[in-house]
Structure 1
Amino acid sequence: MGCFGFLKIMMFLFNGIIFLAGAGILAVGIWVKVDSGSILGLLQNLNNGPPELKQVLNVGYLLIAVGAVLLLLGFLGCCGAVRESKCMLLMFFVIILIVFIVEVAGAIVILVFKGVIQTTISQVGVTIVDSIRKDYGKNADVTGLWNTTMTVLTCCGFNNYTDFTGSPFVQNTSLYPQQCCKTGPCREYNATVSNISGCYPALIKVFEANSIVIIAVALGIAALELISMIVSMTLYCKIKAKDS
């Protein structure tokens, strides 16, 4: 098997994985939009939410779009390699190039508008806290979502235990959620000294602790995209030379 055959096999295998990944992401995106009980459904029911929150709620559409693009890429790459189609390989290259440019532009936007993003998160946080004080202990979906989140992340509220002050749960039981205290019944005095952080600070710590992994994954994806472009153009040129 020569270099040309090896490139065809690698192109087929690599894009087969892309095709399967696209199918999975597309399925998740459709599930998010269909499942009214998902976390996005809860966010949509928040009152007086900032306009920026509406963009967050479009993540289901984003997943569907990403999944569809990956499906198309996988199909073009596999069929282009197997059928030795210059048109498909060229389309594959162009789409990968566009995705790569968009990713670079997105990274630049995040770096430049980091302060705006933090402000938006703070505005969303105010709305979330209002929802906690209104529905925690009364709405089973909200209560269950927060209990699960706090248990998994070992955190308390969005900012801290005071987010639950005035909530139906505290009013009815005179207690705070047990996740807000390390031991014993959770009342304000021991919630104050337990120093269990809020879920937002906890999530930030998780991202900071795994920042190297996140950067490595991003660089790995960028490298794969570059390799894909090189391989597709190499095949394109070899097929073109073969046909001429």
Structure 2
Amino acid sequence: MAVEGGMKCVKILLYVFLLAFCACAVGLIAVGVAAQYVLSQTISQEATPSSVLLVVIIAVGAFLFLVAIVGCCGACKENNCLMITFIIFLSLIMLVEVAAAIAGYVFRDKVMSEFSKDFREQMKNYPKQNHTGSILDGMQEKFKCCGAANYTDWENIPLEPKGRVPDSCCINVTQGCGINFKVKDIYTEGCVENVGVWLRSKVLVVAAAALGIAFVEVLGIAFACCLVKSIRSGYEVM
């Protein structure tokens, strides 16, 4: 009877973990989508290690949700086959999450170089664009920066009239404030360092979240294995 009672506790704890997995799955999807949106506002839409990593995080979140449902069905019906399937899939997800966390750490500096390259490309195309609501202007206003390395980068960009900077470089943004500007009235720091460090920190947060969820999944796998052992031994756990 002690084993029976113990297995009842294991089953209840497994249900708790399955609910936690569902919450984690929704969290992973939300974090991945949010981070993907942030990257789309700062880095071009072409495939990069950072964007691929976030797609993997979103896919893992969706798959984890489905696996949690399989686990719920297996625990409820005490079905040995479903529980083994749950353990195998959850183990695979855990390995992918650990790999994603490691990739996030490895590519943290790659984010900076990606952003630097893309920002300079956007600067070159800036004179051809409609500046209203442009990503580059938005970044310069939000992060209080001007140019890639500093405001003098705009000297190499053919803006009209010559020698101006975008109005988004101004401390107090008004129409035409970048024409005949005074250095004290604009942001002088470059955007690559400011935005790049911020982006890198966000990638690390996503990687840390994936690693944390993987740790919780280890406990879920352990409880699921205990339940499978009980089912195979023929104990009644209801």
**2:216 aligned to 202, 224, 233, which one?**
224
The residue type equivalent to 1:69 in the other structure is F
Instruction: Give the match for residue 190 of structure 1.
Output: 183
The answer (yes or no) to whether the contact 2:149–2:189 under 8 Å persists in 1 is no
Aligned partners of 2:21, 2:214: CA distance in 1, in Å?
14
Q: Deviations over 1:46-72 (max 9, x none)?
A: xxx7xxx45555567535522331222
**CA offset at residue 230 of structure 1?**
1.0
> Residues 21 and 147 from structure 1, CA distance in 2 versus in 1: closer, same or farther, beyond 3 angstroms?
farther
Aligned partners of 2:31, 2:202: CA distance in 1, in Å?
27
The residue type equivalent to 2:6 in the other structure is C
The residue type equivalent to 2:44 in the other structure is L
The answer (yes or no) to whether the contact 2:145–2:169 under 8 Å persists in 1 is yes
The answer (yes or no) to whether the contact 1:90–1:236 under 8 Å persists in 2 is yes
> Residues 130 and 234 from structure 1, CA distance in 2 versus in 1: closer, same or farther, beyond 3 angstroms?
same
TM-score between both structures, scaled by the size of structure 1: 0.64
Richer in helix (by share):
1
After superposition, the CA RMSD in angstroms is: 4.7
Q: Does 1:149 align with 2:150?
A: no
The residue type equivalent to 2:18 in the other structure is N
Instruction: Give the match for residue 197 of structure 2.
Output: 204
Tell which deviates more after alignment, 154-163 or 8-17: 154-163
Counterpart mapping for 1:65-76 below 5 A: 65-76=59-70
**CA offset at residue 134 of structure 1?**
0.8
Aligned partners of 2:210, 2:6: CA distance in 1, in Å?
29
TM-score between both structures, scaled by the size of structure 2: 0.65
Aligned partners of 2:207, 2:122: CA distance in 1, in Å?
34
Gaps of 5+ in 2: none
Tell me how many residue pairs correspond in the alignment.
228
User: How high is the sequence identity, in percent, across the aligned residues?
Assistant: 23
Aligned partners of 2:83, 2:74: CA distance in 1, in Å?
5
Q: Which has the larger radius of gyration?
A: 2
Gaps of 5+ in 1: none
The answer (yes or no) to whether the contact 1:153–1:203 under 8 Å persists in 2 is no
